[in-house]
A = this chain, B = another copy of it.
């Protein structure tokens, strides 16, 4: 019994630690109605198959247990937990429309949910909001092989869509770590960035059409597969990246490029951040149209991967293991010989001019995977080293890395940086501060690894890092969005008139504020 209770104590203390991030979350708004058993028959009547479309723990004869509802109530990190007792899974746009109309009429708050893979608490309820899951809407509606335009239900999983397109010789112009779970509708709603953005650009350019249900149930049908259509305000753009606070995306038409037939990857070591910038500039010029990724990571990141990651067992370089910076460059094209020649010439020129200390070029698919793991393995390695504070920032490339030494210095000044860390001067709790990210998109991931989540670390970092971002005219959220986590900090990235206009738009499209409340943009 004692062991058990200790375990319970440990669990609850861990939970309170995890909950810390949203301890000051907004209270439930009294303007929203509370649903009870009496409301269920009317709600159920919306669905052609209520047995599979309505999950609820309410009433004497609940159709689901709390365990059934947990995947909808809790985000995948287990960091955010809501308390919804009603999950609806409509099968058609018409049903989505009726659900929203029903909720709007009754002042019922709703959280639209895709694959629930977000990192900022935007896709789970905070209190008792109804969860509107798009997962039962996952059909491919149409693919036009000539133009490469594909129209799909918004609930299709990204990887399933990419697999389908691969059979057609095409590719989704978007790739994410969460591709096995995330849904295209959620990707569009959060304007997901990811790994292919340098090459194919943002969803604002690649989304050709959206079908959206407004909070009052009206359906905006903009699914035409047209690249050019200048007939009034481009409504779909309003919903791309607005995190489900203005409408629910039920259909997406995407322009999909032809799948590249050749891919190359190289990783190289560089003597300083100026060289990283020069190498990037040369890559844009010399690799031009075949450049598909330009990632970077610092010595501290590489040390982590070598200590804790898959790459632990082997050296990568003959003569560059101790370099302060590393870059990964990927090319994708339609002709392997041409791409090899371009990449070879590029690397040779970098070596000759001394911009690069040492480098390796993948010889086959396996080596491509191994080189990518040096970059992609960083977050996992960090997790093994301790508790990680993660910041996803957008900054002008030239100023991008300076945040890392500035942050180190700040932590050192306060005596929080352990001696083992770069610039460390004492026995502080912070083991390492490191930076890596999508250099080509100006997207820096800055991570801090500490022995535990500590208030004194957070207090030094959190106003300070947002202030630095504001000083450099950056963004406090490059690709993750605001959700619940960053909504209170948005003023570090947006000025007052912009925020005012966002609030006005929210109020105009969702006067009762029922859609994804408390997050991203609210009317007040």
Contact = CB atoms under 8 A, between A and B. Distances in A.
Interface of A: 144-148, 169, 190-191, 193, 197, 201-202, 204-206, 214, 218-222, 224-235, 237-238, 240-242, 245-246, 258, 260, 277, 280-281, 284-290, 332-335, 338, 341-342, 394-398, 438, 441-443, 473-482, 486, 490, 493-495, 497-502, 504-506, 508-509, 520-521
Given A234-B242, A334-B286, A334-B288, A229 B478 contact: yes
Contacts of A221: 495, 497-498
B146 A231 contact: no
A395 B149 CA distance: 13
A141 B31 CA distance: 47
Contacts of A338: 335, 338, 341-342
B191 A146 contact: no
Given A498-B220, A505-B508, A508-B504, A230 B241 contact: yes
A169 B284 CA distance: 11
B226 A474 contact: yes
Contact of A281 (B145, B197, B286): B145
A345 B474 CA distance: 46
A338 B231 CA distance: 40
A399 to B, nearest CB: 10
A486 B407 CA distance: 56
A229 B498 contact: no
How often does this chain occur in the complex, in copies? 2
A443 to B, nearest CB: 5
A286 B169 CA distance: 12
A420 to B, nearest CB: 32
A241 B235 CA distance: 10
Contacts of A520: 232
Given A201-B201, A477-B230, A502 B241 contact: no
Nearest to A149: B396
Nearest to A508: B508
A325 to B, nearest CB: 15
B289 A229 contact: no
Nearest to A475: B229
Contact of A475 (B226, B246, B334, B481): B226
A334 B285 contact: yes
Contact of A206 (B191, B205, B233): B205
B394 A227 contact: yes
Please name the 3 residue pairs, one residue from A and one from B, whose CB atoms are nearest each other, closest first: A205-B205, A288-B334, A237-B237
A208 to B, nearest CB: 9
Contacts of A277: 146
Contacts of A289: 260, 289-290, 332-334
Nearest to A261: B288
Contact of A224 (B214, B290, B398, B475): B475
Nearest to A120: B230
Contacts of A228: 193, 197, 202, 394, 438, 441-443, 475, 478-479
Contact of A232 (B145, B480, B502): B502
